[in-house]
Copies of this chain bind each other. A is one copy, B any other.
Amino acid sequence: MYPRLFGQMKKQLGQLDRWLEAAGAFAQARAFEPSVFLELRLAPDQFAFARQVQTACDTARLAASRLTGKEAPPQPDAEKTIEELRARVQGTVAYLDGFTSADFDAAATRVVTQPRWEGKTMTGADYFLEHALPNFYFHLTHSYAILRHAGVKLGKRDYLGPLSQKAAT
């Protein structure tokens, strides 16, 4: 199941890349500086758009690293433009592409921790379901919602992307 769940995260990151492209085109059509988007936020004590995108990427990246035991390379949060955010998203997809199904064989029973947990641990299965997956969709959806709130023309199909549907018989 993990390879499929990560496959879905990759697909959603591909959609996020399209939303960023749409945001850039919206700014161009309205003649404002596209990097204005990076500082938008829905509440003063929520992450701004750039950090929502960065955190969606990091949630997927670090989940893959923690569930496979392969250390992730350092990733600074240095993006200043829509194009740089797109590169971050695309780089995350490329990173996830580097894992095989076999890499996730021991994922469910792996012991996962992170510095802010002060020594507490979770099993890989609990960590993925209770922490990584909800956080991924949280930051992904906030990225989408900030763009919609700002007027970028997106809809549910842009969120979900193409579905594996079979034609009517």
Q: Which residues from chain A sit less than 8 Å from chain B, CB to CB?
A: 1, 4-5, 8, 11-12, 42-43, 46, 117-123, 125-126, 129-131, 133-135, 137-138, 140-142, 144-145, 148-149, 151, 156, 159-161, 163-169
Contacts and interface: CB of A to CB of B under 8 A. Distances in A.
Given A8-B133, A12-B134, A118-B168, 19 more contacts: A1-B1, A4-B125, A5-B129, A8-B129, A42-B42, A43-B148, A43-B151, A46-B148, A119-B169, A122-B163, A122-B164, A122-B166, A126-B164, A131-B163, A134-B159, A137-B138, A137-B140, A138-B156, A138-B159
Contact of A119 (B12, B42, B133, B168): B168
A155 to B, nearest CB: 8
A137 to B, nearest CB: 3
A160 B43 contact: no
B164 A135 contact: no
Nearest to A7: B129
Nearest to A12: B134
Contacts of A125: 4
A107 to B, nearest CB: 12
